[in-house]
Amino acid sequence: MDEFTLIDHFFKAIPLRRQDVLLGIGDDAASVQVPPGYELLVSTDTLVSGIHFLPDWNPYDIAFRSLMVNISDMAAMAAEPCWVTLALTLPELNQSWLEPFAKGLGDGLQQYHIDLIGGDITQGPLAINLTILGLAPKGRLIKREGAKPGDVILVSGPLGAAALAIQLLSDKTVPVKDREELMAKLLAPKPRTDLIHLLRTQATAAIDISDGLSADLNHLCVAGRVGACLTKEAIPVYPLLNKYLKDKAVDLALTGGDDYELCFTLPAKQLDSFMQAASLANSPCYPIGFIEKDKGLRIKSANNICETLIPTGYTHF
Ligand code: ADP
Ligand code: MG
């Protein structure tokens, strides 16, 4: 199979479902329709073999996870993810690898009503680059900047499962049931598109947690030129962390990345109505602290002792 047959067979074959795709795979560029009153958002992410995933992972999981990571960036802006392009770098044209890869991608696209509209294939060390495009009503994006002193800080779900999965990857003593539960969190994170509308109407700032809560909250604070104080007991820790890490569980919930939950802020007077709306929508969120005027991060434990929190999380260089 040559490159072009391969594109047709594996990627052009993924059905287009959106009416707003004017031109999909096959030409020099794709074209999409941006509705009046909306703005177009673009975000790109590269996942490199050996860094973001292991070469022996199932190609289905590699594709699915890559897509979820990209969708999460749109959720963090309160934008609807609509279209993606895929730039694949492959060591060889291996059909038995591409088959499950295209299936994982196709399943993820279908689940989130996104169309694959183009891409590129080159030879080299295995890497996946996805560019995602999304829509938001003009001027209604939620950015990293925008948090104000007094705003409540929330996260959209328990943290640390993906980081624990990585820690326990080669630990043979972990029961299969726990391993499967954690690996599912690592391989198939659920980008929080369910929160887009609530965030759009209520949030002052938002970010997705890819590097770790403390690192990503720090980005949000730096962008807004504010600081934050968290309540240690309020941080939702993924239950299995308590089993494996005991008193170190909160530390991993604060620093472990790859969960792709959202961290966002709201004016404090809106908290009650937001919490009601979120639980009605089956998207419970967790208030974990407040934005403060003083820059930097702090964390308060049960005895009300306030300590400096050094933002730590994943960095590449
Ligand atoms: P060009 O040489 O003009 O860049 P390509 O041969 O790279 O064109 O691609 C031909 C068509 O196939 C283009 O429309 C491109 O968007 C699409 N395409 C290439 N690789 C992929 C891929 N991995 N996934 C989806 N579409 C792809
Ligand atoms: Mg090309």
The residue nearest atom 5 of ligand 1, judged by CA position, is 120
87: helix, strand or coil: strand
Task: Say how far residue 121 (Cα) sits from the centre of its chain.
Answer: 25
Q: Which atom number of ligand 1 is nearest to the Cα of residue 87?
A: 23
Q: How far is the centre of ligand 1, averaged over its atoms, from the C-alpha of 26 (Å)? A: 6
Chain-wide mean pLDDT for the chain?
Answer: 96
Report d(CA 51, CA 132) in Å as an integer. Answer: 21
Q: Which residues contact 296 (CB under 8 A, 6 or more apart)?
A: 221, 227, 308
- Distance between CA atoms of 29 and 309, rounded to whole angstroms? 47
Nearest protein Cα to ligand 1, atom 27 = 119
117 lines ligand 1 (CB under 6 A): no
Are 41 and 131 spatial neighbours (Cβ–Cβ below 8 Å)?
no
Cα of 189 from ligand 2 centre, angstroms: 30
Task: Tell whether ligand 1 has an atom less than 6 A from the beta carbon of residue 2.
Answer: no
Residues around the ion ligand 2 (C-beta < 5 A): 120
Tell me how crowded residue 121 is: count the other CB atoms within 10 A of its CB: 17
Q: Is any atom of ligand 1 closer than 6 Å to the C-beta of 11?
A: yes
CA 110 to centroid of ligand 2, rounded, Å: 24
Q: What is the pLDDT of residue 315?
A: 67
Cβ neighbours of 231 (radius 10 Å):
16
Dihedral pair phi/psi, residue 155, rounded to 5°: -125, 155
- Return d(Cα 95, Cα 295) in angstroms, integer: 52
In degrees and rounded to multiples of 5, residue 44 shows phi and psi of: -135, 145
Report the distance separating Cα 306 and Cα 250, nearest Å: 15
Query: C-alpha 261: how far from its chain's center?
Result: 6
Is there an atom of ligand 1 within 6 Å of 6 CB? no
Specify the ligand 1 atom closest to the Cα of 118: 16
Looking at residue 316, its pLDDT comes to 62
Q: Per DSSP, which regions of the chain are E strands?
A: 21-23, 31-32, 38-48, 80-90, 115-123, 127-137, 152-155, 205-208, 227-231, 262-266, 286-292, 296-300, 306-308
Residue of 120, 123, 129, 132 with the most ligand 1 atoms within 8 Å of its CB, for mutation: 120
* DSSP state letter for 209: -
Nearest CA to ligand 1 atom 20: 120
pLDDT per residue of the chain (317 residues) written in tens, 0 to 9: 888 899 999 999 999 999 999 999 999 999 999 999 999 999 999 999 999 999 999 999 999 999 999 999 999 999 999 999 999 999 999 999 999 999 999 999 999 999 999 999 999 999 999 999 999 999 999 999 999 999 999 999 999 999 999 999 889 999 999 999 999 999 999 999 999 999 999 999 999 999 999 999 999 999 999 999 999 999 999 999 999 999 999 999 999 999 999 999 999 999 999 999 999 999 999 999 999 999 999 999 988 899 999 998 776 67
Residue 62 bridge partners (DSSP): none
Residue 4 CA, ligand 2 centroid: distance in Å: 11
Q: Which two tokens stand for residue 284?
A: 């419970």
**Ligand 1 and 109: CB distance under 6 A:** no
Q: How confident is the model at residue 100, as a pLDDT?
A: 98
- Residue (of 76, 87, 74, 95) closest to 9 by Cα position: 95
